[in-house]
Amino acid sequence: MNLVFAPTLPDAFERAGLPFPEREPEPGRLCRFPTNGRKDDAAGWLRVFPDAEGAVFGSWRDGTAWTWQREKDGPAPDAAELARIRANAERIRKEAEAEREEGYRQAASKAAATLQAAEQAKGHPYLSAKGIAPHIARERNGSLVIPVFDNDGNVQSVQSVSPTGEKRFMPGGKMTGGRCWLGEPTDAGPLVLCEGYATGASLREATGWPVCVTFTAGNLRPVACDVRERFPRAKLVIAGDDDRKTEGNPGRAKALEAAKLVNAVTVFPSFDGPEGSDFNDMTQQAGREAVARLIRDTVEPRRFKLAERTAARLFKGEPPPVNWLVTGIFPLGVACLLASPPNVGKSFLALELAAKVAGRRDGECPPVAFGALVAAHGRAVYVSAEDDEPEIHRRLHALCGNDMPDRLHVLSLPDVGHFGIIEPDPVTKEFRATREWFELADEIRALPDVRLVILDTLQALTSGDTNTTQAVTDRHKGAGHDRRNGATWRGLKVAFRTVRRMG
């Protein structure tokens, strides 16, 4: 507890940064006063000593406590005197807390009786003005009666709402941690927290999700912590007020603060004009469906966003041209599969294509492959799973003579060690890219200006059955895509495959 020596009690309050009570405190009696500028707030507390030469005071909102002793002329108090002052202040503070708790107990008992005496609300003017159903609200003597529960479900206070919307809590009742649920909370789905009752009713009616009303922005934090502890797996959504016209925007600030503590999603209302601050305002301006859409799109973003994917929005101007490796046959930047019966010369055709992509220089006539012009040139990578380097040398010599392309990279697995690029998972049987393939892909990606990668043949690059539909699909994807990071090459990937029969 902080000890303050000051000439007067108001001086001590000024040093503590607390507002001095408007009514004169009576020595020996507990005095409650607001600390946030609201007349219905009673977070501040004060008890003046019977001799009026000292006092203890503080704020139950933030837990601070101060001891005041009147400053006098003469020597400063010694250690023994200071210890006596602190001990006396601590005793009085505990008495004040006990008195506060007794006041809470009495207020809770009165609140429960008030709620019991009230009837189910029906056509109350406040409900009509807000456009909401009563839900758990009751009515007594012309006012709505809304229960305020603690974390264990016990009534700790009530909020009364007049026909014109004036709100009052039970005098002396506890508000910290108070809440009421609209709908039954579970771990299964989203749980929404908000400030006001009308806001909570609008959110409940728009989403169908359980909604926890905390009544004040400052209450979001303690209630959110309780809810997170009780429902650790639930997705928490804090639907904050957007107090745009209030300095510091406390609704937004408190919502963000609470959300950070409990790993919750925050969502705020959206308005076309300057009026409105909460989701009830938005409901009345834009409709329930607009609120539901905003909440759901924030909490559960639409995966495909189909509503936005119109042709007019996606496609502007002329379509992009196709970039060809071999004009009209092999486009760049995709994976292709070339299949045929055995012994028709696939490997020779593959090597010829690689040599023509890698061999042409500026100024030379474009070569022809597969009956069409080879339109793109650069580095080519030829991976042979069956032919060794001498056989590849003989074939290239037949194609190029002694003018071997220096941009053609050749990897002969019989010479460097055989490996599979895609293998079936031993448990799921799904085909997955191997570590060796990822390593090879990294080396290919490090080469500049690669336009063509050939895998010859798929049968020899895996131990699985390449003649099933799943095998063809998965190998085709695996040969053209690096699944670790989603990266692809700008060149063409061609996998050559032998099929058992054609037609």
**How far apart are the C-alpha atoms of 36 and 185, rounded to whole Å?**
31
Rounded mean pLDDT of 418-422? 81
- Beta bridge pairs of residue 192: 211, 237
pTM of this structure: 0.59
Query: What's CA 47's distance to the chain center, in Å?
Result: 46
Asked whether residue 198 carries a pLDDT value surpassing 80, the answer given is yes
Average pLDDT, the chain: 87
Structure tokens at 232: 């650790």
Identify the three-state secondary structure at position 333: coil
Q: Are 349 and 398 in contact, with CB atoms under 8 Å apart?
A: no
176-299: CATH architecture: 3-Layer(aba) Sandwich (3.40)
Rounded mean pLDDT of 65-76? 82
The tens digit of pLDDT for each residue in 20-63 reads 998 888 888 888 888 887 777 778 889 998 888 889 998 877 77
Domain with CATH 3.40.50.300 in the chain: 324-498
Report the pLDDT value the prediction gives residue 467, as an integer from 0 to 100.
Answer: 55
Report the pLDDT value the prediction gives residue 340, as an integer from 0 to 100.
Answer: 80
Report the pLDDT value the prediction gives residue 79, as an integer from 0 to 100.
Answer: 83
Out of 71-85, 96-110, 159-173, 249-263, pick the least confident: 71-85
Measured between its terminal Cα atoms, the distance across the chain in Å is 91
Confidence band for 81, pLDDT divided at 50, 70 and 90: confident
Report the pLDDT value the prediction gives residue 90, as an integer from 0 to 100.
Answer: 83
Identify the three-state secondary structure at position 120: strand
Report the pLDDT value the prediction gives residue 71, as an integer from 0 to 100.
Answer: 86
Confidence band for 3, pLDDT divided at 50, 70 and 90: confident
Confidence band for 483, pLDDT divided at 50, 70 and 90: very low
Report the pLDDT value the prediction gives residue 434, as an integer from 0 to 100.
Answer: 86
**How far apart are the C-alpha atoms of 114 and 471, rounded to whole Å?**
72
Structure tokens at 482: 């690096």
The tens digit of pLDDT for each residue in 335-378 reads 888 888 888 888 889 899 999 999 866 666 779 999 999 999 99
Report the pLDDT value the prediction gives residue 345, as an integer from 0 to 100.
Answer: 84
Rounded mean pLDDT of 205-214? 97
Asked whether residue 141 carries a pLDDT value surpassing 80, the answer given is yes
**How far apart are the C-alpha atoms of 231 and 212, rounded to whole Å?**
13
With the C-alpha atoms ordered 443, 448, 450, 456, is the resulting torsion angle positive or negative?
A: negative
DSSP string, 33-58: E-SSS-TT---EEEEE-TTSSEEEEE
Report the pLDDT value the prediction gives residue 383, as an integer from 0 to 100.
Answer: 93
The tens digit of pLDDT for each residue in 256-290 reads 999 999 999 999 999 999 999 999 999 999 999 99
Domain with CATH 3.40.1360.10 in the chain: 176-299
Continuous H helices in 41-196: 79-117, 125-130
Asked whether residue 132 carries a pLDDT value surpassing 60, the answer given is yes
Confidence band for 491, pLDDT divided at 50, 70 and 90: low
Report the pLDDT value the prediction gives residue 242, as an integer from 0 to 100.
Answer: 96
Rounded mean pLDDT of 15-22? 91
Rounded mean pLDDT of 402-429? 87
Rounded mean pLDDT of 476-480? 48
What letter represents residue 334's amino acid?
Answer: V
Query: CA 466, 474, 329: angle at the middle one, nearest 5?
Result: 85
In terms of pLDDT, which residue wins out, 329 or 73?
329
Report the pLDDT value the prediction gives residue 490, as an integer from 0 to 100.
Answer: 53
Query: What's CA 230's distance to the chain center, in Å?
Result: 20
Asked whether residue 489 carries a pLDDT value surpassing 70, the answer given is no
Q: What is the CATH number of domain 324-498?
A: 3.40.50.300
Report the pLDDT value the prediction gives residue 2, as an integer from 0 to 100.
Answer: 81
